[in-house]
Amino acid sequence: MVYGYPQCVLTLRPDQKPGITSATSEEHLRNNMANLLPSLNLSRSFRALRHPNFRLFFWGQLVSVIGVWMQVTAQQWLVYRITGSQTSLGLVTFINFLPVLLLSLFMGVIVDQFPRRKILLFTTSWFMLLAGLLALLTWLEIVQYWHILLLAFLLGIGNALDMPARQAFVIELVDDDKSDVLNAISLNSTLFNIARIIGPAIGGAIVATLGEAPAFAINGLSYLAVIIALLLMKFSLPVITSSRANPLEKMKDGFRYILSEKSILGLVVMVAAVSMVGFGTLTLVPVFAKDVLHTGATGFGNLLSWQGVGAVIGAMLLVLYGDYFQKGKSLLFSRLLLGPGIIGLALSRTPWMSMAFMALIGFSFITQLVLTNTLIQTIAPDELRGRVLSTYTWALGGFYPLGSLAMGFLGDQIGAPSAALFSGIGCILLVLFNLAVFPSMQKLT
């Protein structure tokens, strides 16, 4: 008689009863049970940190991104406080990312032509200046809505260059070791989302007690950590840049490659679609905190923090077990979670349930972005990486503001819960679109 178990077959003698009755069989079962789960090797799970440049960037980013999330929280609250309009919230996000939509593809050529560290030093200094200006205007109590829109647009110009440069810089930080790229991106995303937990909570508390200006000022100072980290980096390998001739032709080279590589085309198309239909719902979070849940600025910070909790869980799963997952199937699974998470947020009227749904949304967001980024980084050739990643940041940062503007307008017309409900249903339909148009993406490893 033979009894089956996954990866384990136990053969019993005729005089044995079914079950584990011998030490040998018991040990056999234990060994095979261990094989069902991937072994946890912490040194392997955090291997990107063995690269000195990545360590510097990691800790510098942690300080800076906490400040960024403090500013995001304070700015969204400031806009809704002085306008009372959901459309105004969406318009700020739209203006912020409009330069990404218009300029990102060209910025990819610049990223492939100039040293990425120098680009990041420039953009980080630019961000620090703009945060200081917003803090000053708010502290003097002369800030107006058009000031915020103008600063958001200037910030977006910096982001259009910073986003593809930062993404392409990752592989330089791990000494061009592609096997460490997923780990580096996952660790960076974990850091980003730890900051997403800490930053909004601190930002919400500061806004509730001191106002918005201190949150903006702290963010401005936090950029110094990234600048210092970039200046301390040392590279043993020469920085490779492409020829500076014919930038328009080089942009066309990037387009031709993407159109010929269906895997990357599918990844970019899906990021654009999910950014517009799903990510834009985040614009409505201040409305849920203030008008639906009635939890105020502190509750708004808590909602964003719980989104960060879910994102940290997702990123840490990829850090610890990312090498064991088939990336294409994992990407599809994370997309399946987004629609139900947004629908749950739309229907919830209880703060703790809303926070739980925000955690699910955060898990889905971050796992989608990390897996998409990693697949693009590993598929794209070195000489085209900046241009290919610029299409990724264009799809992510360019279509997100369109969705934010649409969600803000829809929220003003039919209410934030109904607008979010439409978004959640749209995300479910996008999964069906993914399966129908890009079925081969599930096979990506």
| pTM score | 0.68
- Given phi > 0 = left and psi -120 to 50 = alpha, else beta, which region is 175? left
User: So what's the pLDDT on residue 416?
Assistant: 87
> Residues 326-331: what's their mean pLDDT?
81
Is the confidence at residue 156, as pLDDT, over 50?
yes
What would the pLDDT profile of 409-430 be if each residue is shown by its tens digit? 888 889 889 999 999 999 999 9
Phi–psi pair at 316, nearest 5 degrees: -70, -35
Residue type, 149: L
> Residues 142-162: what's their mean pLDDT?
91
User: So what's the pLDDT on residue 11?
Assistant: 37
What would the pLDDT profile of 13-45 be if each residue is shown by its tens digit? 444 444 444 444 445 544 544 444 455 555 566
DSSP 175: T
As given in the structure block, the two tokens for residue 16 are 């044995």
The mean pLDDT of the chain is 79
Among 27-31, 103-107, 206-210, 284-288, which stretch is predicted with the lowest mean pLDDT?
27-31
> Residues 246-258: what's their mean pLDDT?
72
Q: At what angle do helices 262-277 and 351-379 cross, to 10 degrees?
A: 160
CB contact at 8 A, 90 and 408: yes
User: So what's the pLDDT on residue 20?
Assistant: 43
